[in-house]
């Protein structure tokens, strides 16, 4: 068993149920590396998951406390936990692109607006792959999917000139980054910063789906060919919509919601007591 998996994950959840060759494992490994570099113990982290490939493959895997939400709702649950739990408990959410950037987007935006202390990893496989490969909010334009037989005409969040990270920044997020799953230390460093920031942090990591996206959109089941396509996509679009790196670092620049709420409530209670 992998050293990090042995240290942080529940043995009965290993090996993962992800398809062989899926890039999701690369994303999970980066999160575990960041946690290890920060020297966090399983009991110091609460691990939340959403729905879809990212949610299903990472549900209940953490050796410490776990929770999960129905589609797009994990952010609302996390908001309640953030207020209820001690400030030093780290809450890490592992969700997919459909969960975070689609059905859960309204909840996500309000967590950013409030600068809630959450570290959110969005593992993006370019669509709804766990349900057979329908196009989603980040599917590259032009690609044939199960629900776009003539090609995806929309483009999605990354290609229509409206970067979803720009919206989250405007909403109030204090740390945002984007990487490909093929990146190593830079992506781990971003996750580390996201966990360290006492506020809303999101790291968007795009990974290749070797099953549905590969077979339907790329017409290939050759994993090496799919990974080469993925690598090329980032290279060709570096500086455009697949620009990697830290997008916004406003670490600790705004009050964190749960801490501010507690302080505000305490003040009101003291005022009420002393008339
Ligand atoms: S369907 Fe695609 S994204 Fe989902 S586990 Fe399989 S390879 Fe990974």
Q: Tell me whether strands 45-49 and 65-68 are parallel, antiparallel or unpaired.
A: parallel
Query: Closest Cα to atom 4, ligand 1: which residue?
Result: 53
Question: What's the mean pLDDT in 229-239?
Answer: 88
Q: Tell me which H or E stretch contains 33.
A: helix 24-37
Closest ligand 1 atom, CA of 52? 4
* Each residue's pLDDT tens digit, 134-189: 999 999 989 999 999 999 988 788 777 688 999 999 999 999 999 999 999 999 99
Distance from C-alpha of 44 to C-alpha of 59, rounded to nearest angstrom: 18
Q: Cα angle at 92 between 70 and 98, to 5 degrees? A: 40
Greatest Cα pair distance, the chain, in angstroms, is 73
User: For residue 214, how far is its CA from the centre of ligand 1 (angstroms)?
Assistant: 9
Pocket test for ligand 1, best of 16, 53, 96, 126 (most atoms within 8 A of CB): 53
Q: Categorize the per-residue pLDDT at 24 as very low, low, confident or very high, splitting at 50, 70 and 90.
A: very high
At 258, give phi and psi (nearest 5°).
-65, -45
Question: What's the mean pLDDT in 89-105?
Answer: 97
Distance from C-alpha of 163 to C-alpha of 36, rounded to nearest angstrom: 31
Please give the pLDDT value at position 240.
73
Percentage, residues of the chain above pLDDT 90: 87
Pocket test for ligand 1, best of 122, 212, 215, 230 (most atoms within 8 A of CB): 212
Q: Categorize the per-residue pLDDT at 88 as very low, low, confident or very high, splitting at 50, 70 and 90.
A: very high
Please give the pLDDT value at position 266.
95
Mean of per-residue pLDDT scores for the chain: 94
Going by C-beta distance under 8 Å and a sequence separation of 6 or more, which residues neighbour residue 26? 181, 182, 207
Please give the pLDDT value at position 158.
79
Helix and strand numbers, DSSP H then E, in the chain: 11, 7
Q: What is the pTM of this model?
A: 0.96
Q: Categorize the per-residue pLDDT at 79 as very low, low, confident or very high, splitting at 50, 70 and 90.
A: very high
* Each residue's pLDDT tens digit, 245-254: 999 999 989 9
């Amino acid at each position: 068993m992998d050293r990090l998996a042995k240290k942080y994950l529940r043995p009965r959840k290993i090996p993962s149920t992800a398809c062989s060759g899926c890039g999701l494992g690369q994303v999970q490994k980066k999160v575990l590396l960041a946690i290890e570099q920060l020297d966090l113990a399983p009991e110091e982290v609460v691990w939340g998951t959403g729905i879809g490939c990212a949610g299903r493959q990472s549900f209940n895997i953490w050796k410490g406390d776990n929770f999960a939400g129905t589609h797009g709702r994990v952010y609302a649950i996390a908001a309640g936990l953030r207020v209820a739990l001690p400030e030093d408990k780290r809450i890490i959410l592992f969700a997919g692109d459909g969960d975070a950037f689609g059905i859960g987007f309204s909840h996500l935006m309000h967590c950013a607006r409030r600068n809630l202390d959450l570290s959110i990893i969005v593992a993006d496989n370019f669509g709804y792959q766990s349900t057979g490969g329908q196009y989603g909010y980040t599917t590259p334009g032009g690609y044939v999917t199960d629900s776009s037989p003539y090609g995806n005409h929309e483009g999605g969040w990354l290609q229509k000139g409206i970067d979803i990270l720009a919206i989250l920044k405007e909403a109030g997020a204090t740390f945002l980054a984007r990487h490909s799953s093929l990146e190593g230390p830079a992506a781990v460093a971003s996750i580390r910063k996201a966990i360290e920031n006492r506020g809303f942090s999101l790291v968007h990591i795009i990974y290749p789906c070797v099953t549905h996206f590969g077979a339907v959109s790329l017409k290939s089941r050759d994993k090496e060919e799919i990974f080469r396509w993925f690598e090329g996509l980032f290279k060709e679009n570096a500086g455009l919509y697949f620009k990697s790196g830290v997008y916004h670092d406003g670490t600790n620049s705004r009050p964190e919601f749960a801490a501010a709420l507690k302080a505000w409530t305490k003040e009101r209670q003291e005022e009420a007591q002393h008339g």
